[in-house]
Chain A
């Protein structure tokens, strides 16, 4: 049990739609990262939020956006869904101390785009 919960666990959307995935971090964690894990691949870093500001982004287009709220919850929004967006989306929270922090992963949201 990591104390990080994600909702929903499964989601089916059609191409062109928009989707919002949610993550509830451990209390006190000031950093949340989102990862995309396609079938048969390792997780790929999407972006990271620290104290409600984006402070790092991987190789993902602007239609992937996020929010982090003061109550330790966060969202990943994806606009104009494409078939290749089908994947497991993982969030990970941590308390950033400038080094040596531990990531706590949620169980993920499985997104299918038809």
Chain B
């Protein structure tokens, strides 16, 4: 079975500081990995995805993530946080059922203070 663990249910940063959201996965097959963002009262928006090409993936809004097979990790980073980045972030892995069926982590709420 596939699973995702997100370390830290809440992460607080100051505006302009580095953002680091941690994700570790478990998969019996080479995974596809995703980061999604969810703003209040909205659905999920794809930030970036890893599909076995380059291990450093760049996404929207200045976010990027690095796939590290040896550490089974796919951490999300952004060099400088903006107030508008405050939201909940979900890491997900594609399931054995198919590319579009995802197993999500429990999410990390990013809080950005001025």
Contacts and interface: CB of A to CB of B under 8 A. Distances in A.
Interface of A: 2, 4, 31, 33, 35, 40-45, 48, 55-56, 58, 90, 92, 94, 96, 99-103, 105-108
Contact of A41 (B43, B97, B106): B106
Given A48-B97, A105-B44, 5 more contacts: A42-B90, A48-B101, A56-B101, A101-B100, A106-B43
A87 B16 CA distance: 34
Contact of B107 (A41, A55, A94, A108): A41
A56 B89 CA distance: 25
Contacts of A45: 95, 97, 101-103
Nearest to A102: B46
Contacts, number: 63
Contact of B99 (A41, A55, A99, A107): A99
A22 B103 CA distance: 23
Contacts of B99: 99-101
Q: Which size bracket describes the interface of B in this complex?
A: 20 to 34
Contacts of B102: 43, 45, 103
B100 A44 contact: no
B44 A96 contact: no
A48 B98 contact: yes
A108 B43 contact: yes
